[in-house]
Amino acid sequence: MVVKKENSLKIDADKCEFLVGRINFVSDEIFELEKEKIFSKCWLYLGHESELAKAGDFVTRQVGGRSIIFVKDRESEVKALLNTCPHRGAQVCREKSGTAKSFQCFYHGWVFSNSGKLVGIPGDDSYPDGFIDNPEKSLTPVPLHSSYRGFHFICFDRGSISLIDYLGNSKEYLDLVVDQAEFGAEIIGGTQEYSIDANWKLLAENSYDGYHAPTNHSTYFDYLKNTTGGLNGSKLEGVGLDLGNGHGVIEYTAPFGRPIASWIEAWGEDGKVRINKIYARLVERFGEERASRIAKFNRNIHIFPNLVVNDIMALTIRTFFPLAPNHMHVNAWSLAPVGEDDVDRKERMFNFLEFLGPGGFATPDDIEALENCQLGFRNMLEARWNDVSRGMNKEEPASDDEEQMRGYWKEWSRRVFDT
């Protein structure tokens, strides 16, 4: 099938029908267009400021198909450097994380400070005076690097709009996440890494799909009802919003215990005392209305194209990059308030591993569903379309509708076909 815009999306507002072509999930041509027009143009999540606690701390990441060093230099300035030696191209840092005053290329021994400057070359007398001070001989910084409330992003397009403008309306929801942490937020534990044999856009959809939970995760809900008492009786009710620029969110009443300030019976009376103190402090800081929203509502936030912040029974940051039309790599981290009570931290980590982690209840369910969809796309020539119409007949779509996905697909289509 030829890749054309009309084969990719079909929208009929009168019929309240929004169809997404299954070719978008299998085509090599689409995959190449996405690398060029999305992952080389959009702001992409790099890491959280707490991962670089002190000068010299670094992590290496694969972002948008590039190898990146995310580092705090000796002046405590956070930098994003392309991990490639200007001499012959080898990666100058092959560790995933650590602390270093400098990076030395293993191939010919060129040495760079942790700010990226070239500081040493074996046999430097074979080069003219001033060679070592030439900026072009240092590590190349990523074209654009900026941060918002501890979340660091990079962009390979120098002509892009600012990060603040790019995030747009999604900032309101990131603020609700960060404001939970009075003394700042921090990444806890390590990085979860896994791969899925499915197209990356399926995970984008799944991340704020409130419709699949009762069926796809029914085992988890049954487990909670029959064992831990981990539900508070609230129904999954809320809104689904297209936030513009391809970003979206579902926000809904939290049926789970949230270690920020939503108590469940399983945490006992001691837990209620702790949770009440956290909530009282939220009210002092933000007033009753905002405190209630922060504490008692879940949020699944998707920042286009591939950053997900799940503010549920734990806080998860998740990114994913396509390696092929039917294969993606996923990174995930747990975020938590600095100075959190040890018991609450334990509950948070338990929730994170029990539901959100790759060995928990939810992620294996989701992976199975996404990989099964990818298998179903083998019938694409005869069965061409996915239906993303749910809620189009409503003025205010709910959290189990698909308004947020329609915003995503419109932005995806604009970038792939109109620019």
pLDDT per position as a tens digit, 30-44: 999 999 999 999 999
- Among 188-197, 232-241, 402-411, the range with the most confident prediction by mean pLDDT is 402-411
State the Cα–Cα distance between residues 371 and 340, nearest whole angstrom.
37
CB 358 within 8 A of CB 194: yes
Which stretch of 93-97, 157-161, 298-302, 356-360 has the lowest confidence by average pLDDT?
356-360
pLDDT for 268 equals 82
pLDDT for 271 equals 84
C-alpha dihedral sign at 66, 71, 139, 107: negative
- Output the six-digit token pair for 152: 């660091």
pLDDT for 375 equals 97
Average pLDDT over residues 193-209: 96
State the Cα–Cα distance between residues 93 and 75, nearest whole angstrom.
20
- Asked if residue 223 has pLDDT above 80, the reply is no
State the Cα–Cα distance between residues 160 and 138, nearest whole angstrom.
24
Q: Residue ranges per domain, the chain?
A: 43-159, 168-418
Helix axes 268-286, 288-296, angle to 10 degrees: 140
Average pLDDT over residues 269-275: 86
Through-space distance between the first and last CA atoms of the chain, rounded to whole angstroms: 22
Helix axes 28-37, 403-417, angle to 10 degrees: 90
Residues 6+ apart with CB under 8 A from 153: 43, 44, 45, 46, 145, 146, 147, 163, 166
Backbone angles phi, psi at 273, to 5 degrees: -60, -45
Average pLDDT over residues 102-115: 97
Confidence of residue 295 (pLDDT cuts 50, 70, 90): very high
The half-sphere exposure of 223 on its side-chain side, counting CA atoms within 13 A, is 10
CATH class of the 168-418 domain in this structure: alpha beta
Average pLDDT over residues 136-141: 97
Q: What angle do CA 99, 103, 109 make, to 5 degrees?
A: 145
Q: Which amino acid belongs to residue 128? A: P
Which stretch of 100-114, 292-306, 356-370 has the lowest confidence by average pLDDT?
356-370
- Asked if residue 150 has pLDDT above 70, the reply is yes
For residue range 84-106, what is the model confidence (pLDDT) as tens digits? 999 999 999 999 999 999 999 99
Average pLDDT over residues 234-257: 90
Which CATH number describes the domain made up of 43-159?
2.102.10.10
State the Cα–Cα distance between residues 103 and 3, nearest whole angstrom.
44
CB 18 within 8 A of CB 34: no
Confidence of residue 229 (pLDDT cuts 50, 70, 90): low
Q: What is the pTM of this model?
A: 0.94
- Asked if residue 232 has pLDDT above 90, the reply is no
